[in-house]
Chains A and B, each alone.
Chain A
Amino acid sequence: MFKARKQEGIELHGDIWKHIQPGEVVLEARGITKRYPGGVLANDHIDFKIRAGEIHAILGENGAGKTTLMSILFGLLQPDEGEIYVRGLPVRFRSPEDAIKMGIGMVHQHRKLVPAHTVMENILLGHPRSRGVIDVKTAEEEVVAIAERYGFKIDPRARVWQLTEGEKQVVEIVKALYRGAKILILDEPTSALTPVETERLLESIETMTQDALGVVPFITHKLPMVLAISDEVTILRRGRVVDRLPTAEATEQILAERMVGRPVIFTLQKPPHEPGQPVLQVEGLSARNNKGVLALKNVSFTVREGEILGIAGVAGNGQHELAETLFGLRPAESGRVQFLGQDVTHAPILDRWKMGMGYTPAERTEVGSIGDFSLVENVAMNYYFDERYNRAGFLDYGGLRQLTEQIIEEFDVATPGPDVKIQTLSGGNLQKVIMGRVLSREPKLVIANLPAQGLDVGATEFVQRKLLEARARDAAVILISEDLDEILALSDWIAPMYEGEIVKLLPAAAAKKEVVGAMIAGVYKENEP
């Protein structure tokens, strides 16, 4: 009880941030250790310091302990051992509220905004001042002033659901700043942004450091971004700090090696491959999103054997609806889908699996797998109907177990065995099981929805190689990705999507990143060079 009172007593927030000298240590973590039930050591004596005016990137693969560390710094989790100091003052965060009071702000990767509310309402939601009467007009002016200070454009009265991912990110940042955040923790800040938006965000972050603020971006795999913005990098692997170096001394190669613990190949070999017969022909396909709004508008394309079609676009521009409509998870409003010459526009999903279509969903935990099921049972999701494993209604679990062991082997899945629940696997390993399960059917068409999103360098490389292997054995592949580099590296054809339409089908050989980037941002003009 004594503790709680003292915490409240620290309304030092205003005082503690006075007279800051550039270069002085504003936040320090010493010996942070966190052990999860089951004995997983997520953070093992992590030390790190952030100085005023510094951008200090924390780099690490999935499972390296980034999320845990971030949650501890923001008061979402309590460390088992270790201390946190804000300007030399020992603090203990029992909840995010404590962290916010001490001037720490966090911008989450999965945006935590209320879609139906306006930007202003979201910013005020949960703000300490919103408990009394708020002068909305003044508050609005303050918010706009903060935004302008850092070069953000913001419309306080817009509804959040109307915003792009990039705009939502800006709202989150402004929200944190409006609450007086002096140290900003950014979780994967550019993962959902277009190149143009990323550029703008990086400029704003630069401006912030001029105000003696500390910025701590947590990043999984966008190494060029680390190099572009940070002053210092701390690299985590398996819960430990493996290296800390000034960014000036780092290269992509060094960072990747330290992070993964082995050399990484950056350029994928995409051998030339002669496309064959058409596999999937789509004509004038339209579909509605979950709100009933037409989100996919009159899309047409053809994918042939041994060809990868890359669907590029920022989240929410109809790619997701396209993938679901192609696989029958979403009804087509109009148009036609032909698979190997057969009309499958309204075919049941089970028939599609049997005909040789395969889909790896973006929602790996909700749709692509069943957390409480073992690996074997998850593999059975694509085989329970297959005559090789279903004899007169009885499943051949022994055979499925063997198949699962093959997938584990071939896809290099890190797991104690095929009988553990799949929810114990890390994101990368889960995706490997899902990909392995779908590809083991040797489908003639693979629809891969955000196959590498959120994966670390090693797993990304692996998944991409597997898609190229599918292409090499003459499968047609539709790759949906928000990462332009990935699209450019893998595709034979590129279909940039904006507001539910394919802007223009481009042969990958002739596609320039800037052009595709302009197309998915909706600023492409046909006549301009």
Chain B
Amino acid sequence: MSLAGYRIRVQRRASVPGWKAALFSVLAILFGLILFSLIFIQAKQNPLEVYRQIFRYAFFNEYGLGLTINRFIFLAFASYAFIIPFRAGLWNIGMPGQLYLGALAAFGVVYAFGGKSGQVSIASGPLIVLMVVAAMVAGALVGGIAGFLRGKWNVNEIVVTMMLNFILFYLVSFMIKDGGPFMNLGGRGESFELPDAARAPLIAGYPYTLVLVFLFMIALQVLFARMSLGYQIRAFGQSPPAARYAGIKPFRISVLVFLLGGALAGLAGYHYFAAVPGVYKIARTYGYFGDLSFYGLICGLISLGNPIAALFMALLFGGLSIGGRYAQGKLHLGFGVDFALMGVLMISLVAFQFFYHYQITFSRVPKSRALAD
């Protein structure tokens, strides 16, 4: 393409260094924010003021920051649930289903010890450990179905995880709504509340699951950078035929990554319904958190499967979901502005991935050449 004497060309680039990838993400976020200002201008608001409100509440307001951190933890687990299969070239979009069953399993443990009545026949420590283990095992089992089918018969994992989401959504409904075993006696269409013994301890006012996020970040980093298993997952993700030739067993990798991914999604479910202060029950709007977990997928994709970079994305989207909702109420903006903003940012980030693979070059067309044409 030529423009005003310049030739503009799009060229494939061989690779992009980490700092450049980070720079593109920052530029993408700025671009998305600028683009979305149009919506605020149209609503007769000063965009700078709106963004100030959003970010101030999300990150600098004591109450808002607490909410942001809760969302951050949730999104971090959800993005790790996506990243592990993603590094093996497989797509886990079953975080909702996995976290639903994870939450049900955690509540199931409490139920088994008589917790529905408000008292449990077990000490708090072991109970919480059992809840976490149950949530992870349950999530892993849901994920494992997709991994097994994929590894054994090459059934598409996207379809399987997607469909399981629907099944498990209604399973939760069955369990907590009228007549379900986990039904809240108040009949509000939500689950029973966790007794005090089952509520997760707080560290400096934040759920202890925050510590788990960083432990898993280190674990994943070590897995992929240092361990033989991580190497095998990456090799399989890059080239299944080459991995097979090297003796890596496709079935084993498929099942393993989905078990691990599912376990982390289960943990996300545990976190939001059993560890976030003030919740401690499977809320009536549990579907909202299923949808929110897809932002974990976005975080994983944008960070190209890097467990550290994914945390920055999780913090950003966690903060925006909280700050956006706050600004919407405070400034009387239209309904759904928070999700629209996150959507625009997401699309902008995805679109900017173009620059990971291509670069645009400008060169002056020589005069003589232009004439020769």
Residues in B neighbouring A90, C-beta threshold 8 A: 372
Judging by beta carbons under 8 Å apart, are A350 and B11 in contact?
Answer: no
Closest Cβ neighbor of B226 among chain A residues: A394
Which A residues between 407 and 461 are near B, CB-CB below 8 angstroms?
421, 423-424
Judging by beta carbons under 8 Å apart, are A368 and B245 in contact?
Answer: yes
Distance from B353 Cβ to chain A, minimum over Cβ atoms (Å): 16
Residues in B neighbouring A361, C-beta threshold 8 A: 245
Judging by beta carbons under 8 Å apart, are A395 and B245 in contact?
Answer: no
Judging by beta carbons under 8 Å apart, are B14 and A384 in contact?
Answer: no
Which stretch (B111-119, B202-210, B233-241) binds chain A? B233-241
Distance from A371 Cβ to chain B, minimum over Cβ atoms (Å): 8
Residues in B neighbouring A348, C-beta threshold 8 A: 247, 249
Judging by beta carbons under 8 Å apart, are B244 and A349 in contact?
Answer: yes
Query: Does residue A92 face the partner (Cβ distance < 8 Å to B)?
Result: yes
Query: Does residue B232 face the partner (Cβ distance < 8 Å to A)?
Result: yes
Give CA–CA (A7, B246) in the complex, Å: 51
Distance from A360 Cβ to chain B, minimum over Cβ atoms (Å): 10
Q: Which of B226, B238, B249, B359 contacts A395 (CB 8 A)?
A: B226
Residues in A neighbouring B308, C-beta threshold 8 A: none
6 additional A-B pairs beyond A90-B372, A366-B242, beta carbons within 8 Å, are A37-B12, A92-B373, A353-B246, A363-B241, A367-B241, A393-B227
Closest Cβ neighbor of A80 among chain B residues: B363
Judging by beta carbons under 8 Å apart, are B228 and A37 in contact?
Answer: no
Residues in A neighbouring B228, C-beta threshold 8 A: 384-385, 390, 393-395
A interface footprint on B235-269 (CB within 8 Å = 1, 0 otherwise): 10011011111111100000000000000000000
Residues in B neighbouring A393, C-beta threshold 8 A: 227-229
Q: Which of A372, A381, A423, A424 contacts B246 (CB 8 A)?
A: A381
Q: Which of B11, B15, B244, B246 contacts A384 (CB 8 A)?
A: B246
Closest Cβ neighbor of A92 among chain B residues: B373
Task: List B residues at the A interface (Cβ < 8 Å).
Answer: 11-15, 226-229, 231-232, 234-235, 238-239, 241-249, 359, 372-373
Judging by beta carbons under 8 Å apart, are B245 and A359 in contact?
Answer: yes
Enumerate the 7 nearest inter-chain pairs by beta-carbon distance, A residue then B residue, closest first.
Answer: A350-B247, A381-B246, A349-B247, A370-B238, A37-B11, A3-B373, A367-B241
Query: Does residue A373 face the partner (Cβ distance < 8 Å to B)?
Result: yes
Give CA–CA (A92, B370) in the complex, Å: 12
Judging by beta carbons under 8 Å apart, are B231 and A377 in contact?
Answer: yes
Give CA–CA (A329, B373) in the complex, Å: 54
Closest Cβ neighbor of B369 among chain A residues: A81
Residues in A neighbouring B247, C-beta threshold 8 A: 348-353, 385
Closest Cβ neighbor of B14 among chain A residues: A38
Judging by beta carbons under 8 Å apart, are A395 and B231 in contact?
Answer: yes
Task: List A residues at the B interface (Cβ < 8 Å).
Answer: 2-3, 6, 37-38, 83, 90, 92, 327, 329, 348-353, 359, 361, 363, 366-373, 377, 380-382, 384-385, 390, 393-395, 397, 421, 423-424
Judging by beta carbons under 8 Å apart, are B244 and A370 in contact?
Answer: no
Give CA–CA (A518, B234) in the complex, Å: 47
A3-B373, A90-B372 known; A395 and B227 CB under 8 Å? Answer: yes
Residues in A neighbouring B249, C-beta threshold 8 A: 348, 350
Closest Cβ neighbor of A363 among chain B residues: B241
Distance from B372 Cβ to chain A, minimum over Cβ atoms (Å): 7
Closest Cβ neighbor of A78 among chain B residues: B9
Distance from B220 Cβ to chain A, minimum over Cβ atoms (Å): 15
Give CA–CA (A302, B15) in the complex, Å: 47
Distance from A445 Cβ to chain B, minimum over Cβ atoms (Å): 15
- Indicate the member of B238, B239, B242 with the most A CB atoms within 10 Å: B242
Closest Cβ neighbor of B13 among chain A residues: A37
Closest Cβ neighbor of B232 among chain A residues: A384
- Indicate the member of A83, A327, A368 with the most B CB atoms within 10 Å: A368
Judging by beta carbons under 8 Å apart, are A380 and B229 in contact?
Answer: no
Q: Which of A329, A368, A373 contacts B238 (CB 8 A)?
A: A373
Residues in A neighbouring B241, C-beta threshold 8 A: 363, 366-367
Give CA–CA (A327, B14) in the complex, Å: 33
